[in-house]
Structure 1
Amino acid sequence: MAKLFWLEAVLPLGIIAGMLCVMGNAQYYIHEAAHGRPKHIGNDMWDVAMERRDRKIVEHYSAAGN
């Protein structure tokens, strides 16, 4: 029984690691449900401006085609 002393520390660490995984996945799915797409990691002002520009171009050409 003396060889299983590490089990006492592994159980709480496993619970903590499991809860971190659950929280990370919850953030992913909540963001995807709210915005309709996965979160873009490292999204800066340039990326936001390019997404806005692309959305405007697509809307312009889709309205012109109808």
Structure 2
Amino acid sequence: MGKFQWLEALLPLGIIAGMLCIMGNAQYHIHKAYFGRPKHVGQDVWDVAMERRDKRLMEEVAASGN
């Protein structure tokens, strides 16, 4: 009887692991649906500034008609 006591923990651990996977995937898909692209992991202030600059430059190019 004592040999398989660890087997009791598999069901709760499986449920916890499954819920973590579901929540991670839900967060990914919600972010992608809202912003239209996957989340950039490890984005800092410099990356945000470069994204704003790139967006502004693309808008200027589109406005100039090229």
TM-score, shorter chain, exceeding 0.5: yes
In structure 2, the residue matched to 1:16 is 16
Aligned residue identity for 2:20: L
Aligned residue identity for 2:6: W
In structure 1, the residue matched to 2:32 is 32
Aligned residue identity for 1:33: A
Question: Structure 1: any 5+ residue segments left out of the alignment?
Answer: none
Q: Can you list the C-alpha shifts for 1:10-34, whole angstroms capped at 9, x where unaligned?
A: 1110110000000000100111111
Superposed counterparts of 1:39-54, under 5 Å: 39-54=39-54
Question: d(CA) in 2 for partners of 1:41 and 1:24?
Answer: 13
Task: Report the number of matched residues.
Answer: 66
The two structures have a TM-score, normalised by structure 1, of 0.88
Shift of 1:2: 5.9
Shift of 1:4: 3.7
Question: d(CA) in 2 for partners of 1:36 and 1:16?
Answer: 29
Question: d(CA) in 1 for partners of 2:61 and 2:22?
Answer: 42
Secondary structure of the structure 2 residue equivalent to 1:6: helix
Shift of 1:5: 3.1
The two structures have a TM-score, normalised by structure 2, of 0.88
